[in-house]
């Protein structure tokens, strides 16, 4: 039997080596740099991701009523560099392995990840604040930080509380 025929028979026995994408799902490697996902529960709106973003894809703005922070990532501007994930101090932003970026032209201005980080009121002065996640409080003020309720205070009242504690 010729080599050519052998190859044909082997390939027939093995079955198709390709996937009928987009008619069936195509698996992506776990570490593929795909679309960005943002978790508003972990975000402290420090703007680090916006600052380092290579594609200028991230916009962070106060909501009109100042009760929260609008967080937008434009998928079309993202260069999948991963800097936002690398520099985020709380792990609130990360790259998924979702590579499905095709979309109709008329959806291009809506093709983004939109979330809202809700503000709370400072437990002392009542100013709208973004409560610090316990992980960050622990990092800055040590294990005791959140026991004293520092995460529920604005930066000014937090400094005051720490100072009062030192004086005591
Ligand atoms: S996602 Fe991370 S880096 Fe970006 S504003 Fe939120 S906490 Fe800061
Ligand atoms: S992966 Fe890079 S370009 Fe995309 S949002 Fe993050 S920092 Fe910006």
CATH at 77: 3.30.70.3270
Residues 107 and 158 in one domain: no
> Is residue 79 lining ligand 2, measured as CB closer than 6 Å?
yes
Q: What would the mean pLDDT of 72-95 be, rounded to a whole number? A: 95
Residues 128 and 114 in one domain: no
Number of structural domains found in the chain: 2
Question: What percent of the chain has pLDDT above 70?
Answer: 96
Separation of alpha carbons 67 and 127, rounded Å: 10
Nearest CA to ligand 1 atom 4: 49
- Res 148: pLDDT: 67
Q: Does position 131 have pLDDT exceeding 90, yes or no?
A: no
Nearest CA to ligand 1 atom 2: 88
Residues 135 and 145 in one domain: yes
> Is residue 47 lining ligand 1, measured as CB closer than 6 Å?
yes
Q: What would the mean pLDDT of 44-52 be, rounded to a whole number? A: 93
- Res 146: pLDDT: 65
Q: Is residue 20 part of a domain?
A: no
Q: Is residue 88 part of a domain?
A: yes
Those residues with Cβ within 8 angstroms of residue 95's Cβ, 6 or more apart along the chain or in another chain: 33, 34, 35, 36, 37, 80, 82, 85
Residues 74 and 125 in one domain: no
The rounded mean pLDDT for the chain is: 89
- Res 8: pLDDT: 92
Nearest CA to ligand 2 atom 2: 81
Question: Whole domain around residue 66: which residue ranges?
Answer: 27-118
Separation of alpha carbons 100 and 76, rounded Å: 12
Q: What would the mean pLDDT of 112-129 be, rounded to a whole number? A: 92
Q: Does position 95 have pLDDT exceeding 90, yes or no?
A: yes
- Report residue 48's pLDDT band, with 50, 70 and 90 as the boundaries: very high
- Res 157: pLDDT: 92
Residues 142 and 70 in one domain: no
Judged by its nearest atom, the ligand closest to the C-alpha of residue 91 is: 1
The minimum-distance atom of ligand 1 relative to the CA of 38 is 1
- Start-to-end CA distance of the chain, whole Å, equals 93
């Amino acid at each position: 039997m010729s080599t050519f025929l052998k190859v044909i028979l082997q390939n027939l026995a093995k079955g198709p080596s390709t996937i009928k994408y987009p008619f069936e799902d195509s698996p992506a490697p776990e570490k593929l740099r795909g679309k960005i996902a943002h978790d508003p529960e972990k975000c402290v709106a420090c703007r680090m991701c916006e600052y380092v973003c290579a594609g200028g894809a991230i916009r962070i703005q106060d909501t009109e009523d100042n009760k929260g922070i609008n967080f937008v990532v434009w998928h079309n501007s993202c260069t999948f560099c991963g800097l936002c994930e690398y520099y985020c101090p709380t792990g609130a932003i990360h790259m998924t392995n979702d590579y499905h970026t095709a979309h109709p032209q008329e959806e291009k201005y809506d093709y983004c990840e939109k979330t809202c980080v809700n503000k709370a009121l400072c437990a002392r002065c009542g100013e709208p604040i973004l409560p610090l996640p316990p992980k960050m409080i622990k990092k800055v003020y040590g294990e005791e930080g959140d026991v004293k309720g520092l995460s529920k205070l604005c930066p000014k009242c937090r400094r005051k509380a720490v100072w009062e504690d030192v004086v005591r």
